[in-house]
């Protein structure tokens, strides 16, 4: 019988920590405190320390982390915010929710992250901020961005939803800077399939700036301080106590899980070696500047992506496409009047990317099966099937 490989499998991970999770949840049930509270505070301190920032603020989702960061910076009607179109919708949606305008900047072909050399041409007198996305677990090229932001007086909000624990550009003898600590604010998501996933929605904003931290903290509780006295118009975006309790348990395993993901990525690299020379246009993920890539996703590129995906599905291998339509070509953004061809690298990536299974519990046999089926696909093609 052929080995089935699902695209992800949260159940295996749950089995390995079931007792710890249940007892942490039981603690919450006993106290009957469900909103924010001491567990959220401990998680905030834990994440701040992990990201090497002074402050962290727990919020209801990664999307809200972006929204609240933009609100804290005072971004609103008519302001322009630069961001890549090859990302999850929330990166742009948060900007639009505030009446600001997402201005899309094409990506680098190798890393899938925003191309710093294409930013300056998009800056106008209305530009207020840049949101680089650390896609798939690798940091965007932040040094040139920081330089542009300083020169043009722009804020940087890192969309680090996929990059908790990733590091940018280590210098000899020292670690790189952590995702989230590089810009003015960093945003994380605890969506269940993220590297640190809750049992529902959750998110976090990190920053070194006390003023911004206080603003986010205020805005997540409808701007009220003290209760029922509203300083600013905020939203309801609090992190649940129960999610914090679960995340604190899972956090203890995060480094180990990250190392496992990195090992799977290395193994794919080895297993794909002979295909690389025989298949035209096949590309594996690349790591820039010896960054610490945490492999939230392992994304290959192939020109015949849709046929390969279909074949793998029939053969019992789960894959997914992040992302099939770049944001500038989404129906809801037709009013922005972008056209196919405007941002060619993002458009091409949307046609060629295929995410393969990568999770800490993925076995060597499963990885072997994934690559073996891909080899079988190309063998059949070579034979004209
Ligand atoms: C997951 C994700 C978000 C949003 O996070 P939610 O917690 O699902 O709201 C934002 N940006 C990127 C790049 C993401 O992957």
- Which CATH fold topology does 254-382 show? 3.90.1150
Distance of CA 320 from the midpoint of ligand 1 (Å): 16
Distance of CA 132 from the midpoint of ligand 1 (Å): 13
The CATH number given to 15-249 is: 3.40.640.10
Distance of CA 195 from the midpoint of ligand 1 (Å): 12
Distance of CA 188 from the midpoint of ligand 1 (Å): 7
* Per-residue pLDDT in tens (0 to 9) along the chain, 385 residues: 678 999 999 999 999 999 999 999 999 999 999 999 999 999 999 999 999 999 999 999 999 999 999 999 999 999 999 999 999 999 999 999 999 999 999 999 999 999 999 999 999 999 999 999 999 999 999 999 999 999 999 999 999 999 999 999 998 888 889 999 999 999 999 999 999 999 999 999 999 999 999 999 999 999 999 999 999 999 999 999 999 999 999 999 999 999 999 999 999 999 999 999 999 999 999 999 999 999 999 999 999 999 999 999 999 999 999 999 999 999 999 999 999 999 999 999 999 999 999 999 999 999 999 999 999 999 998 887 6
Pairing type for strands 155-159 and 167-168 reads unpaired
The answer to whether the CB of 168 is under 6 A from ligand 1 is no
Q: For 271-326, give the DSSP string.
A: HTHHHHHHSTT-B----STT-B---S-EEEE-TTHHHHHHHHHHTTB--B-S-SS-
The answer to whether the CB of 158 is under 6 A from ligand 1 is no
- Could you read off the pLDDT of 157-201 as tens digits, one per residue? 999 999 999 999 998 888 889 999 999 999 999 999 999 999 999
Q: For 97-151, give the DSSP string.
A: HTT-EEEE-PBPTTT-SB-GGGTGGG--TTEEEE--B-GGG----HHHHHHHHHH
- Ligand 1 atom with the smallest distance to the CA of 63 is 9
φ, ψ of residue 217 to 5 degrees: the values are -60, -40
Q: What is the pLDDT of residue 174?
A: 84
For the chain, how far is it from start to end, CA to CA, in angstroms? Answer: 23
- What is the domain partition of the chain in residue ranges? 15-249, 254-382
Region for residue 40 given its phi and psi (left: phi exceeds 0; alpha: psi -120 to 50; beta: otherwise) = alpha
Q: What is the pLDDT of residue 311?
A: 98
Atom 7 of ligand 1 has which residue's CA nearest to it?
62
Distance of CA 385 from the midpoint of ligand 1 (Å): 39
Distance of CA 314 from the midpoint of ligand 1 (Å): 29
Give the orientation angle of helix 364-382 with respect to helix 241-271, to 10 degrees.
50
- Ligand 1 atom with the smallest distance to the CA of 133 is 13
The answer to whether the CB of 297 is under 6 A from ligand 1 is no
The answer to whether the CB of 243 is under 6 A from ligand 1 is no
């Amino acid at each position: 019988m052929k080995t089935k490989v699902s695209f992800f499998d949260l159940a295996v991970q749950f089995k390995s920590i079931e007792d710890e999770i249940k007892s942490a949840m039981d603690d919450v049930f006993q106290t009957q405190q469900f909103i924010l509270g001491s567990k959220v505070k401990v998680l905030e301190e834990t994440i701040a320390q992990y990201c090497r920032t002074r402050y962290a603020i727990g919020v209801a989702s990664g999307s809200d982390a972006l929204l609240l960061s933009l609100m804290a910076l005072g971004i609103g009607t008519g302001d322009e915010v630069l961001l890549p179109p090859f990302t999850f919708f929330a990166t742009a949606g948060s900007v639009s929710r505030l009446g600001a305008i997402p201005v899309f900047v094409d990506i680098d072909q190798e890393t899938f992250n925003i191309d710093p050399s294409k930013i300056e041409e998009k800056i106008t007198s209305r530009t207020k901020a840049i949101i680089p996305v650390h896609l798939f677990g690798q940091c965007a090229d932040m040094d040139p961005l920081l330089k542009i932001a300083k020169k043009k007086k722009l804020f940087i909000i890192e969309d680090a939803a996929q990059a908790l624990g990733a590091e940018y550009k280590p210098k000899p003898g020292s670690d790189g800077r952590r995702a989230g600590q590089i810009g003015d604010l960093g945003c994380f998501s605890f969506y269940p399939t993220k590297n640190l996933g809750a049992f529902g929605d959750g998110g976090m904003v990190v920053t070194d700036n006390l003023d911004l931290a206080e603003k986010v903290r205020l805005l997540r509780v409808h701007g009220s301080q003290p209760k029922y006295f509203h300083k600013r118009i905020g939203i309801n975006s609090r992190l649940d106590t129960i999610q914090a309790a679960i995340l604190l348990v899972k956090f203890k395993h995060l480094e180990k899980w990250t190392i496992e993901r990195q090992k799977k990525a290395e193994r794919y690299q080895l297993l794909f070696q002979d295909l690389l020379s025989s298949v035209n246009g096949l590309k594996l993920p690349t790591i820039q500047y010896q960054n610490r890539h945490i492999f939230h996703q392992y994304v290959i590129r192939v020109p015949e992506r849709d046929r390969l995906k279909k074949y793998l599905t029939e053969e019992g291998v789960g894959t997914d496409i992040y992302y099939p339509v770049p944001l500038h070509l989404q129906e809801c953004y037709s009013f922005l009047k972008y056209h196919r061809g405007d941002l060619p690298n993002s458009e091409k990536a949307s046609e060629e990317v295929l995410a393969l299974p990568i999770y800490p519990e993925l076995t060597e046999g499963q990885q072997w099966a994934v690559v073996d089926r891909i080899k079988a696909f190309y063998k059949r093609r070579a034979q004209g099937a």
